[in-house]
């Protein structure tokens, strides 16, 4: 293929050639998509099975420790230890309350429920991401999407209702 300046550009396609019926006036022959074929090479050899199981277990253990640390920090352990708050409180009529109606104070059970709901929303996003791995199997992808969106909505609505109780709405 030759352009007006007699330069050989046989290894590329102009955008104009791709979309000339839709936008024949936009780019002209200035912008080209290069045709590059990279060789397929395997740079890393597969690790033997006896070591890969150990690496999988280590990876799972690290992920589990990370989730435990995040869960402990979300429950507000530092606040609970420093202020020595009760697990459950009661109102004026001696009815138990699980969510303390003040922004400045919290109960242990409220912190635990809040962190479980936050982890539930995170799990919903992980399941929603997993649904993208089943593009060719529509039924499985829809099930994962429904479960993920349901978990996200349940966690979000529950956290909003807890926040409304704390604000006093």
In a domain, 13, yes or no: no
Domain assignment of residue 122, yes or no: yes
Looking at the domain assignment, is residue 4 inside a domain?
Answer: no
What pLDDT shows up at residue 64?
Answer: 81
- Number of domain units in the chain: 1
Is 159 a member of any domain? Answer: yes
Rounded Cα distance between 13 and 1, Å, is 9
Whether 99 and 110 have beta carbons less than 8 Å apart is answered as yes
What are the pLDDT digits (tens) for 65-86? Answer: 887 888 788 778 888 888 888 8
Residue 41 has pLDDT above 80, yes or no: no
CA distance 85 to 79: 8
Domain that holds residue 66: 49-167
Whether residue 136 lies inside any domain: the answer is yes
CA distance 110 to 14: 61
Reply yes or no on whether the pLDDT at 49 is more than 80: no
Q: What is the pLDDT of residue 29?
A: 57
- 147 occurs within a structural domain: yes
pTM, rounded to two decimals: 0.58
85-123 residue pLDDT tens: 887 888 788 888 878 887 888 888 888 888 889 889 989
Asked if residue 31 belongs to a domain, the reply is no
Alpha helices per DSSP H over 41-93:
49-74, 77-83
Q: Is 29 exposed, middle or buried (0-12, 13-18, 19+ CB in 10 A)?
A: middle
Write the pLDDT tens digit of every residue in 133-151. 888 888 999 999 999 999 9
What is the enclosing helix (H) or strand (E) of 111?
helix 108-131
Higher pLDDT, 48 or 84: 84
Q: Report if residue 39 sits inside a domain.
A: no
């Amino acid at each position: 293929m030759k352009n007006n300046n007699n330069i050989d550009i046989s290894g590329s396609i102009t955008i104009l050639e791709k979309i000339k019926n839709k936008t024949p006036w936009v780019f002209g022959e200035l912008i080209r998509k290069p045709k590059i074929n990279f060789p397929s090479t395997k740079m890393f050899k597969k690790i033997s099975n006896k070591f890969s199981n150990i690496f999988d277990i280590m990876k799972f253990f690290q992920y589990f420790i990370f989730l435990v640390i995040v869960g402990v920090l979300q429950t507000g352990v530092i606040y609970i230890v420093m202020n020595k708050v009760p697990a459950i409180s009661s109102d004026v009529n001696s009815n138990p309350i699980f969510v303390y109606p003040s922004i400045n104070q919290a109960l242990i059970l409220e912190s635990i429920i809040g962190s479980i709901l936050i982890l539930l929303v995170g799990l919903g996003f992980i399941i929603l991401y997993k649904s993208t791995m089943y593009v060719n199997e529509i039924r499985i992808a829809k099930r994962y999407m429904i479960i993920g969106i349901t978990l996200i909505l349940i966690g979000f609505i529950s956290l909003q209702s807890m926040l409304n109780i704390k604000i006093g709405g």
